[in-house]
Amino acid sequence: MPSKMPERSMLSRTSLNALEGHCLSREWHEPAIGIVHLGIGNFHRAHEALYTEEAMLAEPGDWGICGVTLQGDVTKRDALMAQDGLYSVVERGPDGVRVTVVRALREVLAMPFDRARLVELFADERVRIVSLTVTEKGYCRDPRTGDADFAHAGVAHDLAHPDEPSTVPGILCAALRARRDADATPFTVLSCDNLSHNGDALRQAVCSFARRLDPALATWIETRVAFPSTMVDRIVPATTDADREAAQAALGVGDEVPVPCEPFRQWVIEDRFPAGRPAWETAGAQLVDDVAPFEIAKLRMLNATHSTLAYLSMLAGFDTISDAVGHPPLKSLIHAMMTREIAPTLAVPASFDLAAYRDALLDRYANPALKHRCSQIAMDGSQKMPPRILSTIQVRLDAGQPFERLALAVAAWFTFLRGRADDGTRYAISDPLAERLTKAAEDATTPAGLVDALVGASDVFPASLARNPVLREALLRAATRLANGALTAIDEYVRLD
């Protein structure tokens, strides 16, 4: 019989001494948990968690993180806790791969299996920040009002069962109610999602939910709880076996949950933390009075063009963002979109060089080591389209200025919703409104029918936009050109102006 293969040595706290070259510093104290983070995905682990570790190395404090997965899946919890919360960040840049072990994550919980422990942490006054990366759809907001979506099944459940919440508004209200009832200092709620005015948006969703549940609680939250806004930026793809292999090669031990990312990162934070915060500025974060100019620039320049690349690429057959910008006409189209249609809508500080920002984005997109899949970026378009692209179109409309390339992005999303590339390849649509929107797209037999069917989606298009004839005509032109193939449409739109 063949001999049994030895078990692979895995990343753990006991292996740290052998990994000093891959830790940020030998000087490390094991901090108590001061941050609970909802949505323990790759982005948080390559961004806030890394900033927090670096901040604790500069100014020690008890800012350890408890990550919480809200998906009802224990796989990530179990994988991370089997490694004592340790994982590696696999930074892929033009100069090669850098692997860093992160130690700031102290515990991982999975809802609803670990509810009792989460309640215990929420009640602990040492927990001074609850942060979130749950994506736009995780806020369970009514897109028309900004309040909690009371037609959402999870929100309705949480109102009926406030001690067993499953949604973000329900979980935060239950936690803050416990703090209020104990006459304890409230924690700060910190959104790190790509959502316009994310702190204000989260505050409105939570307070509207609280108002239905307990008006006095809503008043307490409105007057006592800080919801600072942030702008976050780092390209963080999904983990692949190649990332696990890179971590193993660098560390000499296995890591089942490494996080790949680009070298670039940015974090702009509104500095309102009544209960205190880590010294994130020592790690390069920008603490400011107003995040809005940075946030809007990122949403419109980066996120909008990322989505545009994704939808055109899904139709044209490009797998990754680097493949997409490696096609010269598509790169030229994105360059022109940022220069002529997006940048003129932005009011940024004088120190913010928009041309340099544009060029840096294109360089980041071209990073061949990152393998950022277009299918990942194409998810949840119904949530992303309004803040990323429709808001910019509205500004251009109000100013009487053209927006043909932005219209092409919207029409590419419409066409993408049919679920097939130009060569007939089928792909899945991941979107909270997928069932309704894909049926509308598939039932439309002409470009005009496609535009009319999807502009009528009132939970995506504000009424003022949906009935605007200038927008409809621009979308119809784009959809008509896309009917001849995305590559043909790209070539035609590059020649605009």
Walk along the chain (497 residues) and give the pLDDT tens digit of each residue: 343 433 568 999 888 877 878 988 878 889 999 999 999 999 999 999 999 999 999 999 999 999 999 988 899 999 999 999 999 999 999 889 999 999 999 999 999 999 999 999 999 999 999 999 999 899 999 988 999 999 999 999 999 999 999 999 999 999 999 999 999 999 999 999 988 899 999 999 999 999 999 999 999 999 999 999 999 999 999 999 999 999 999 999 999 999 999 999 999 999 999 999 999 999 999 999 999 999 999 999 999 999 999 999 999 999 999 999 999 999 999 999 999 999 999 998 888 899 999 999 999 999 998 889 999 999 999 999 999 999 999 999 999 999 999 999 999 999 999 999 999 999 999 999 999 999 999 999 999 999 999 999 999 999 999 999 999 999 999 999 999 999 999 999 999 87
Pairing label, strands 230-233, 266-270: antiparallel
Residue 8 is predicted with a pLDDT of 63
Encoded tokens for 1: 């019989």
C-beta separation of 67 from 121 below 8 A: no
Radius of gyration of the chain (CA): 23
Judging by DSSP bridges, how do beta strands 33-38 and 64-69 pair with one another?
Answer: parallel
User: What domains appear along the chain, each with residue ranges and CATH number?
Assistant: 13-288 (3.40.50.720), 292-494 (1.10.1040.10)
Residue 5, pLDDT score: 35
Contact (Cβ atoms closer than 8 angstroms) between residue 160 and residue 202: no
C-alpha 47/C-alpha 437 separation (Å) is: 33
What are the backbone dihedrals phi and psi of residue 199, each rounded to the nearest 5 degrees, phi first? -65, -45
Q: What is the pLDDT of residue 7?
A: 53
